[in-house]
């Protein structure tokens, strides 16, 4: 009997334990295989510290399409997909109007005189880890987001965050919005003054994201936030959300291989080491929990693939649009106007134009679908409202459904052949892009390190949406309110 009571007391003690700080890190456009590619070149203080002393989920996949930056950040922190959190891309449609994911004209910029601060998380329909942490502690916990991109700072931090900070490239400083505050805190002002004198920063011009030094600037801001807000030093668990975007900008320009990408990840490794050291010094090495993941991966440059006799190629939405118009004009009597947008391998119909011209609205999606299926570089396509009964392979059907939010996601989704991707606005001839279901876009790193994290790895398939419930279970707080993921039991047991 005494033994049972002792075990119960011990269990209750463990149940009440908590880390002083949670640190979420997203590396934009990082493929899972980069961990092994650069392992021997990494220092002992950054990625290798997380890999060697933490837990690695080696088969973490994104379980929706499209695989896009805003969606990935939202999904990792809400534990769910666009079907529930509503962030369907960097841009999508609301009530027929194209909007940027974090667009909010009801707020103003704080920290500069530009309009780059008119941003908030209001378009996201679900709570995040940080929101649940704040709710659990009656808003005594602090939650801060930091990134080069506004969406990468705002969406992870959530609705009730104390602040999110991102770079204003024109004014070359960190800003926020009146959604969070009316004036930058002194520590953030001091950091901006330091940036203004930074000779390396000045040399970069507005191409900051194309330099590995961008990651250094983000790390400096994160460390300033750590110290300035006293994160991890209060009575409640705090959270710091950091996202590194230079890896995405460099990848789009230079691709997944080569010196530029190598330099970006090796510098990021050193910056991670600095960040972890700063957290060690502030809260103690065993008193914080870290997770690191990516919002998406990236395809290998199609020309590089072809040069090595591997099937791949560019795909151009504008050219496809012309061919579809030419084919449909024979049936509809019109040659333009009914495709409003093609974005992230989705077609958004212009329903106002279709109805104005008296076209048969119910048939239009299927007319376009029939032409898409003739495109040589498109492997599958479906009308969103037909997904449940479509002939898509189950894996593609399920990921399309999880990525679909009615009224925001468009009307038709299509899947290029493996190795084929959109060329043009988001990729240079030497670069790459992302957005598809394939492993090169969907297989991402998922590392846990620190407080109560066992050392080891698993090859069991997990999803990006499993990160949030895992962290919440470790903190003994409620999952985000639309969470569909499952806690990774190898870590939480």
Burial of residue 427, with CB atoms counted within 10 A of its CB: 0-12 exposed, 13-18 middle, 19 or more buried = buried
Are the CB atoms for 211 and 122 separated by under 8 Å?
no
Taking the CB of residue 277, how many other CB atoms lie within 10 A of it? 15
The percent of residues in the chain predicted with pLDDT above 90, rounded, is 81
Contact partners, residue 16, CB within 8 Å, separation at least 6: 476
Q: What is the DSSP string of 233-274?
A: -SSS-EEEEEEE-HHHHHHHHH-SSSHHHHHHHHHHHHHHHH
Residue 19: the pLDDT is: 97
Residue 78 is a catalytic residue: no
Structure tokens at 41: 């070149």
Whole-Å CA distances, 489 to 441, 471, 482:
25, 11, 20
Structure tokens at 33: 């295989």
pTM summary value: 0.95
Q: What is the strand order of the sheet 378-383 is part of? A: 339-343, 346-349, 412-416, 378-383
Residue 8: the pLDDT is: 42
Question: Which segments of the chain have a pLDDT < 50?
Answer: 1-13, 333, 335
Q: How far apart are CA 493 and CA 487, in angstroms?
A: 10
On the question of a cis peptide bond just before residue 66, with omega within 30 degrees of 0, the verdict is yes
Residue 316: the pLDDT is: 81
Taking the CB of residue 414, how many other CB atoms lie within 10 A of it? 23
Residue 359: the pLDDT is: 62
Are the CB atoms for 431 and 251 separated by under 8 Å?
yes
Which residue among the candidates 69, 127, 300, 470 is catalytic per the annotation?
69
The percent of residues in the chain predicted with pLDDT above 70, rounded, is 93
Are the CB atoms for 449 and 343 separated by under 8 Å?
no
Residue 410: the pLDDT is: 95
Q: How distant is the alpha carbon of residue 127 from its chain centre?
A: 15
């Amino acid at each position: 009997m005494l033994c049972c009571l002792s075990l119960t007391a011990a269990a209750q003690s463990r149940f009440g334990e908590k880390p002083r700080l949670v640190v979420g890190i997203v590396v934009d456009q990082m493929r899972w295989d980069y961990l092994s590619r650069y392992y021997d070149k990494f220092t002992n203080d950054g990625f290798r510290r997380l890999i060697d002393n933490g837990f690695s989920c080696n088969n973490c996949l994104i379980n929706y399409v499209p695989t896009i930056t805003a969606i990935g950040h939202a999904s990792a922190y809400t534990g769910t997909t666009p079907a529930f959190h509503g962030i369907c891309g960097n841009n999508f449609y609301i009530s027929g109007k194209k909007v940027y994911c974090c667009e909010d004209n009801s707020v103003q910029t704080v920290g500069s005189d530009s309009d780059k601060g008119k941003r908030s998380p209001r378009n996201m329909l679900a709570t995040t880890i940080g929101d649940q942490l704040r709710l659990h502690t009656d808003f005594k916990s602090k939650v801060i987001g930091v990134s080069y991109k506004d969406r990468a700072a705002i969406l992870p931090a959530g609705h009730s965050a104390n602040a999110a900070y991102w770079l204003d490239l024109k004014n070359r400083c960190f800003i926020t919005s009146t959604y969070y505050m009316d004036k930058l805190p002194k520590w953030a002002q001091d950091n901006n003054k330091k940036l203004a004198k930074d000779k390396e920063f000045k040399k970069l011009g507005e191409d900051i994201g194309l330099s590995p030094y961008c990651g250094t600037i983000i790390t400096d801001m994160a460390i300033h936030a750590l110290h300035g807000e006293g994160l991890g030093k209060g009575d409640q668990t705090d959270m710091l959300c950091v996202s590194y975007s230079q890896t995405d900008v460099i990848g789009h320009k230079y691709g997944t291989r080569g010196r530029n990408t190598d330099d970006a990840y090796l510098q990021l490794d050193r910056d991670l080491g600095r960040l972890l050291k700063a957290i060690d010094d502030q809260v103690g090495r065993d008193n914080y929990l870290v997770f690191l993941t990516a919002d998406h991966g990236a395809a290998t440059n199609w020309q590089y693939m072809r040069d090595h006799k591997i099937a791949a190629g560019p795909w151009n939405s504008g050219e496809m649009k012309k061919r579809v118009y030419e084919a449909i004009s024979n049936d509809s009597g019109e040659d333009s106007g009914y495709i409003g947008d093609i974005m992230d391998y989705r077609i958004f119909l212009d329903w106002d134009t279709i109805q104005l011209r008296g076209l048969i609205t119910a048939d239009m999606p299927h007319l376009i679908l029939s032409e898409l299926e003739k495109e040589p570089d498109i492997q599958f396509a479906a009308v969103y409202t037909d997904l449940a009964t479509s002939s898509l392979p189950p894996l593609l059907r399920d990921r399309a459904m999880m990525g679909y939010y009615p009224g925001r996601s468009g009307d038709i989704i299509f899947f290029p052949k493996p190795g084929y991707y959109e060329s043009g606005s988001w990729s240079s001839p030497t670069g790459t892009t992302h957005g598809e279901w394939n492993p090169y876009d969907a297989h991402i790193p998922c590392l846990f390190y620190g407080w109560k994290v066992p050392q080891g790895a698993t090859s069991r398939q997990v999803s990006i949406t499993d990160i949030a419930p895992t962290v919440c279970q470790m903190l003994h707080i409620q999952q985000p309110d639309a969470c569909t993921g499952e806690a990774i039991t190898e870590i939480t047991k």
